[in-house]
Amino acid sequence: MDKIGLDIVGLSYSQTQSGAYALVLAEQEGKRRLPIIIGGFEAQAIAIELEDMTPSRPLTHDLFKSFAESFEIKIKEVVIYNLLEGIFYAKLICDKEGKEVEIDTRTSDAVAIAVRFKCPIYTYENILAGAGIILDDDEDASSKTPSKSKVESKKEKKGIASLNLNELKDKLENAIDREDYEEASRLRDEINKRNEKNN
């Protein structure tokens, strides 16, 4: 199965889950985006490295990097290999003296480590097909400031359980237009859940 390269294009505060963040990964040669909800600590760990900041004491991911380098372990790549019930699964592909080892990890930790080792992040077509969101050419996925309409739409939003499939699809398109990846992710998961029940 061919791997698809991903880049980090956004990291924004979640407006519906306290302390959570939306990490947005973009397909390198395509228009799809992969939104992943992560915790505050992991978001901070990713942001610090992306902004070239140096904390006064090493974070856990910095410690991992120092440990790996001390024992001459290289992180070759990160692979997001599965998605079950809305949870992404990832692994680190490591190299120690020519021997390749795979280490299972949370996706948020894998990305925090990937940015430190400057190694590529990959996923598979079935993950992007199931969880990816397609953007139009004129949309900019890197916008991190919520618009007024985005904030208002959160207040007006009714429970997704009461919506029919067509309404969910309309709301999904609107969420993508507003670059509200977190809401789009929730709507996408609900649509997929209903489609599975119908099959």
Contacts with 63 (C-beta within 8 Å, 6 or more apart), sequence order: none
Distance CA 41, CA 101 (A): 26
Helices (H) then strands (E): counts for the chain: 7, 8
pLDDT in tens, 85-123: 889 999 999 999 999 999 999 999 999 999 999 999 999
pLDDT in tens, 7-62: 999 888 876 677 789 999 999 988 999 999 999 889 999 998 988 888 888 889 99
Domains of the chain by residue range: 3-144
Mean per-residue pLDDT for 188-197? 81
Contacts with 25 (C-beta within 8 Å, 6 or more apart), sequence order: 6, 7, 8, 9, 33, 34, 35, 36, 111, 121, 123
Class in CATH terms, 3-144: alpha beta
Query: Of 14, 22, 44, 29, which Cα lies nearest the Cα of 142?
Result: 22
The tokens describing 26, both together, are 């973009």
